[in-house]
Amino acid sequence: MSSPAMIDRYRWWEIVLIYCGIALFLFFVLSPFVEGFLVSLKPLAQLFSSPYRFWPENGSFEAYRTMWISVPGFGRYIFNSFFISTVVTVIVLCLVIPAAYAFARFEFKGMGILLGAFLTVNMFSGAVLLIPLFRLMRSMGVLNTYLAMIVPGVAFLIPSAIWLLRTYMIRIPQELNEAAYMDGASHFYTLRRVILPIAMPGIIVVAITTFIGAYAQQFIFALTFNSKTEYMPLPVGLFAYFGKQEVIWNELMAASFVGIAPAMVVIFFLQRYLVGGLTAGAVKQ
Amino acid sequence: MSVQRSAFIFAWILLLPAVLYVLAIVAYPLVDTFILSFTDASLKKTTNWVGWVNYEKIFNERFAEVIIRTFIWTFFSVALKMVIGTFGACMLNAAVPGRSLFRLLTMPPWIVPMAIGIFMWGWMYNGQFGMISGLLQRFGLVDGPVAFLAYGSTAFWATIITDVWIGVPLVTIYFLAAIQSIPKDLYEAAWTDGAGRWYRFRRITLPLMVPAIITMSMLSLIATFNSFDIIWILTQGGPSGETTTMIIDTYQTAIGSKKYGEGAARAVLICIFLSLFCFAYFRVTRRLNPEKRA
């Protein structure tokens, strides 16, 4: 009689309430995107006319064509963003996979402290260290190059990546290591041939979150360490649509959607890993 | 060579690259900031040791006001994230058709490059033609256009709302996971005893979510305290400094006015606050799961 499934059965008005709640929540989350998309469809004159109209009249994808013309370097900005984020992600993975494995498998004095130290680093944003980083980049002679955005970008993404991947690797049974050692495999061989393939879903999650993080970081590092348009990443490059008189809003929004579309497609296909991995990492701490 | 020893060496070989990298790019600049904060470093060639002058200046200027504002800004932003995140997680946890789609739809603010989301909010807040002002007028809630970013009080809240919007997806997903890890038999037992849905939420879900809420508010506190992009893109700290937080002020002093020494002193102060938050975070998480180290 008291089957567990019955608990989850809602009365009709409860279902209505839940859908209203979800609608309210999603309205908050999605309204900037909806509005942004509608703006990208409106002619500029319509944007600057009163009274305010929500739906576009004679909406068209014209802005998606003209955005390439008003800011000729736009394609370059997208490329720069993807290039910087990809390089950052690859370097972070190379540094973090071994470190996370060490934290997950070996235990001796000082490791807990080191892990805590990484977490502490995670809490300092690049904004706090901009002045010395600027001096460091200048003395390394990498200001106004891709490296000016890649080098600091990597450092601030290492800690959270280590924590996330370590949580994942801890759950891989220790017996696998022992079995491999029994068969005479070296530490390194075990890591490469036994652990890495099993940890792949976790590595994918770390790769995605690092990529997203790298994309988000580009604003402040590019703003401070780079003044050359040819190396400008998308977030800063979008300021090109801020004209002397007014912002070309419809093209700015069109450019935003063009800029994020590839990332959205990738994440859409990988979201199964993403939600699972994030929540597992979150709850297990 | 013993097995123990070879494992020790191997572990350090694995750790070293990441450790060295972070030491060079984070720890060294941290030390450099500290040293700089006692100098009058600027664009000038010469740099002199000035002792505590930069710190004394901080407290003589309007910086005390900036500190208080930063804490108020952070407090409201974090509190709203927790409330909206809890609400969202409960809604998305409900077993109704379409929920996996709804969960997917919460992700965009987190996935999209922050600056792009902020540009979109910039338009929403536009006084003459933005959506919020437009809809408020359409429904007769206000008489004329409201330029949210032009007045201190509205700009303050506008930047908070945008910060909340960016933070909410992660909070929601984290809370959703927390809700789902609550043992089902607790609900079943309560249900058998005739407890209603609201009662079960108040007496089971909410109390068992407390550790997740505490952990997330600590993490969120640190992220919000460090928030730069949102305020910088929307208001650059204006109008007349009413959205200037510590991070913004530090950036304006150090990078904008090229007063490296004075900027560094501000950065050191931020580091002290962040260290206190970290310390509190470790204490709290250790208390929440006492059986685990670190």
H/E stretch holding B159: helix B152-180
Residue A65 CB burial class (10 angstroms; 0-12, 13-18, ≥19): exposed
CA distances from residue A263 to A40, A200, A258, B146 in whole angstroms, order as listed? 19, 20, 10, 34
Contact check, Cβ <8 Å, B192/A130: no
Per the rule left: phi > 0, alpha: psi between -120 and 50, beta: everything else, A172 is: beta
Distances, alpha carbon A143 to alpha carbons A89, A133, A150, A224, A243, in Å: 20, 10, 11, 9, 26
In angstroms, the separation between the Cα of residue A52 and the nearest Cα of chain B is 5
Q: Which residues of A touch B93 (CB under 8 A)?
A: none
Q: Quick check: B116 and A238 CB within 8 A? A: yes
Please report, for residues A86, A129, A234, B121, the alpha-carbon distance to residue A258 in angstroms, rounded to integers and kept in the order given: 18, 32, 11, 18
HSE-up of B215 (CA within 13 Å, CB side)? 19
Chain A: give the shortest CA distance to residue B120, in Å.
Answer: 6
The pLDDT value recorded for residue A109 is 78
The pLDDT assigned to A2 comes to 44
Put simply, whether B9 touches A (Cβ < 8 Å) is no
Check CB contact of B212 with chain A, cutoff 8 Å: yes
B49: helix, strand or coil: strand
The owner of tokens 């060496």 is: B9
Look at residue B150 in the predicted model and tell me its pLDDT: 84
B84 touches chain A (CB under 8 A): yes
pLDDT tens string, chain A, 285 residues long: the values are 344 555 567 888 888 999 999 999 999 999 999 989 998 998 887 777 767 777 887 778 888 888 888 888 888 998 999 999 999 999 999 999 999 999 988 887 778 888 888 888 877 777 888 888 988 898 889 899 999 999 999 999 999 899 889 888 888 887 887 888 788 778 888 888 888 888 888 898 899 889 988 988 888 899 889 888 889 998 888 888 887 677 888 889 999 999 888 777 777 777 777 666 665 554 443
Per-residue pLDDT tens, chain B, 294 aa: give them. Answer: 566 777 888 888 999 999 999 999 988 998 999 998 898 888 777 777 888 888 888 877 678 889 999 999 999 999 999 999 999 999 999 888 888 889 888 888 888 888 899 999 998 888 777 888 888 887 878 777 788 888 888 899 999 999 999 999 989 988 998 888 888 888 888 888 887 888 888 888 889 998 889 888 888 998 899 889 899 999 988 788 889 999 999 898 888 888 888 889 999 999 899 888 888 888 887 777 655 444
B246 touches chain A (CB under 8 A): no
Chain B partners of A21 at a C-beta cutoff of 8 Å? 87, 90-91
What pLDDT sits at residue B198? 84
From residue B69, how far is each of A125, B59, B152, B248 by CA, in Å? 19, 14, 12, 12
Sign of the C-alpha dihedral computed for residues B110, B232, A220 and A124 taken in this order: negative
Kindly determine whether residue A187 and residue B7, on different chains, have CB atoms separated by under 8 Å. yes
B78-B84-B89 Cα angle (round to 5): 120
- What pLDDT, on a 0 to 100 scale, did the predictor assign at position A280? 56
Q: Which residues contact B140 (CB under 8 A, 6 or more apart)?
A: none
Contact B197, A14 (CB under 8 A): yes
Distance CA A147, CA A87 (A): 10
Cβ of B29 under 8 Å from any chain A Cβ? yes
Of B94, B229, B271, the CB nearest to A124: B271
Return d(Cα A59, Cα A55) in angstroms, integer: 8
Partner-chain residue, chosen from A18, A99, A114, that has the shortest CB–CB distance to B91: A18
Contacts of A284 in chain B (CB under 8 A): none
Comparing C-alpha atoms, which of B188, B107, B288 is closest to residue A283? B288
Closest among A204, A227, A195 to A105, alpha carbons compared = A195
Mark yes or no for CB contact A106/B119 under 8 Å: no
Residue B153: Cβ within 10 Å count: 10
Q: What is the C-alpha to C-alpha distance for residues A225 and A130, in angstroms, rounded to an integer?
A: 9
Contact flag A35-B131 (C-beta cutoff 8 Å): yes
Angle at B42 between CA B71 and CA B45, to 5 degrees: 165
In the numeric block, which tokens belong to residue B164?
């909340």
Q: Extract the tokens encoding A50.
A: 């009163």
Quote the pLDDT of residue A278: 62
Instruction: Output the pLDDT for position B293.
Output: 44
- At A242 the three-state DSSP class reads strand
Could you report the per-residue pLDDT of A159-188, keeping only the tens digit for each?
989 988 988 888 888 788 788 878 877 888
